[in-house]
Chains A and B, each alone.
Chain A
């Protein structure tokens, strides 16, 4: 007899991500206003405020950075593209339109390799990356948005700052995959030197589109946009919440309740809530920007950018794995540019990669976290760390002494050379056999009772002698040499006593 089993319908999520990357140029996209931090509305001019009769002119560094980003995202670079006007009315937009790119993005059809925390990789397609300008910043008056004030304040310093909008293919299926994509995108942009990349400052703003469908289905479900995620872990939680919510509605026969809308993530509750409903596709009345000529990307520019392109984070990871470093170590070393740069410099200065990795990932990383500094700010130079690692490897100092002296070196001591500093401080390990023999002789002579007991069979007393020797040498005796010499002397004494 067979038991009828209710077929369990499996669902899968389809996730795509749009990211606005603030490019780190000196000036705005189309005028000479500085992009550096200033008091509100200090960095404005008739061009970014769209006064009549003004003419925008594209910043050459914006073009170069867009090409570099495109190459780093393995995109095709359009040899010719154009700007368009996207019209909408909002007080943060001084012109009443945003200069953007509609149907001819500068970069298209790319692909990046993302890496999950377990070291497995996923490939995610890049639909397009296009240039546009940022809007001003709305500051709500009063500390509490709900306090009933009837106006908002605007700072136009950000209006006209260049953005690169990167649109992914809907290739991700889980919150973890989406977070891995987002962090890899940030890593790429940082390694290439294209953005400051500070999430809290809005240098990278992610909008996530989530829909759910029955597994195996080719059609897409109604997509919901989620915004307001300030970290990658928040992004992961927001998406996982949203997937669960939509699957639940599917399962309970209420899929019609999934509507096209924008939802915000509430970090404290770990859930999403409705911000606004999308009434069909907004009509932005795009048309070609008449004030800006088409953009031509020459082969020479592409060649020049390629020649000077920094190493991609995925390439750095592969290089570290080729050094036979564990996957987990390779991932952390290649996670942030200053760390990777520091580690590379230590290895270049001659340290063994495994030992260098241990120091960088252990004591140094703990120190930078504790003192809230970057690897770029470390007073211990990569060359000095390599010297320290080498000194331990050669047995000039013990690992223990190395750790003891590290705080000193991190304060900037030992600039004239780590070994010289150790010598000056009297921290050089004693590895000289005759010196250690003399030490052992002294200690054995000073403890005749214990030596007698040892010879009578209390071999555990060997530990006692090691302790005495370390004390006598102020911890500087090379443990390996010391043990060898001690065993030799004890055996001799034992034989003599027989």
Chain B
């Protein structure tokens, strides 16, 4: 987020909007949730959601690989590790 550059006009426009969002969170925090189970996802009742173990070749592999900033041959190039 720190990398996003914004103009002075945008700051002017967005500042009250962001304030508003923060105040919505304040409203959420005011709610008493003791004893309420956390809802991390839309729970499915009972049945598992599974996929058969059958290989499927992703067809646009070249398209996603071309988005890699730096490559060497078929490898993705990253800053030195270790």
Q: A residues within 8 Å of B by Cβ?
A: 25-27, 32-34, 36, 39-42, 44-46, 49, 51, 57-63, 90-91, 138-141, 145, 149-156, 287-288, 290-296
Contact = CB atoms under 8 A, between A and B. Distances in A.
Contact of B58 (A45, A290, A296): A45
Contact of A32 (B44, B48, B51, B72): B51
B40 to A, nearest CB: 4
Contacts of B79: 91, 150-152
Contacts of B53: 25-27, 59-62
A141 B50 contact: no
B16 interface: no
Contacts of B64: 44-46, 49, 51
A153 B43 contact: no
B52 interface: yes
Given A40-B74, A151-B79, A155-B75, A32 B56 contact: yes
Contact of B80 (A32, A40, A150, A288): A150
B78 interface: yes
A58 B48 contact: yes
A140 B81 CA distance: 8
B44 A293 contact: yes
Contact of A153 (B40, B47, B50, B76): B76
A27 B52 CA distance: 9
A129 to B, nearest CB: 19
A58 B50 contact: yes
Contacts of A155: 74-76
Nearest to A39: B74
Contacts of A34: 55, 57
Closest 8 CB pairs of A and B: A32-B56, A45-B58, A153-B75, A61-B53, A91-B78, A34-B55, A60-B50, A40-B74
Contacts of A63: 48, 50
A296 B46 contact: yes
Contact of B72 (A26, A141, A295): A141
Interface of B: 38, 40-41, 43-44, 46-58, 61, 64-65, 72-82
A43 B49 CA distance: 23
B24 to A, nearest CB: 20
Contact of A57 (B41, B50, B75, B81): B50
A32 B51 CA distance: 8
A62 B48 CA distance: 13
A41 B55 contact: no
Q: Is the interface of A mostly helix, strand, loop or mixed?
A: loop
A471 B58 CA distance: 72
Contacts of A40: 73-75
Contacts of A291: 41
A27 B50 CA distance: 13
30 contacts: A27-B53, A33-B55, A34-B55, A36-B55, A41-B75, A44-B58, A44-B61, A44-B65, A57-B50, A59-B50, A63-B48, A91-B78, A138-B81, A139-B75, A140-B81, A140-B82, A151-B80, A153-B75, A153-B78, A154-B77, A155-B74, A287-B40, A288-B38, A288-B40, A291-B41, A293-B44, A295-B48, A296-B46, A296-B47, A296-B48
B43 A293 contact: yes
A109 to B, nearest CB: 23
A91 B70 CA distance: 13
A27 to B, nearest CB: 5
Nearest to A82: B40
Nearest to A51: B64
B53 to A, nearest CB: 4
A39 B73 CA distance: 10
A291 B44 CA distance: 12
A45 B64 CA distance: 8
With most chain A CB atoms within 10 A of its CB, the pick from B56, B65, B76 is B76
Given A27-B53, A140-B82, A152-B79, A46 B58 contact: yes
Contacts of A60: 48, 50-53
A58 B69 CA distance: 30
Contact of A91 (B47, B49, B81): B81
A59 B78 contact: no
Contacts of A90: 81
Contacts of B52: 60
Contacts of B78: 91, 151-154
A292 B57 CA distance: 22
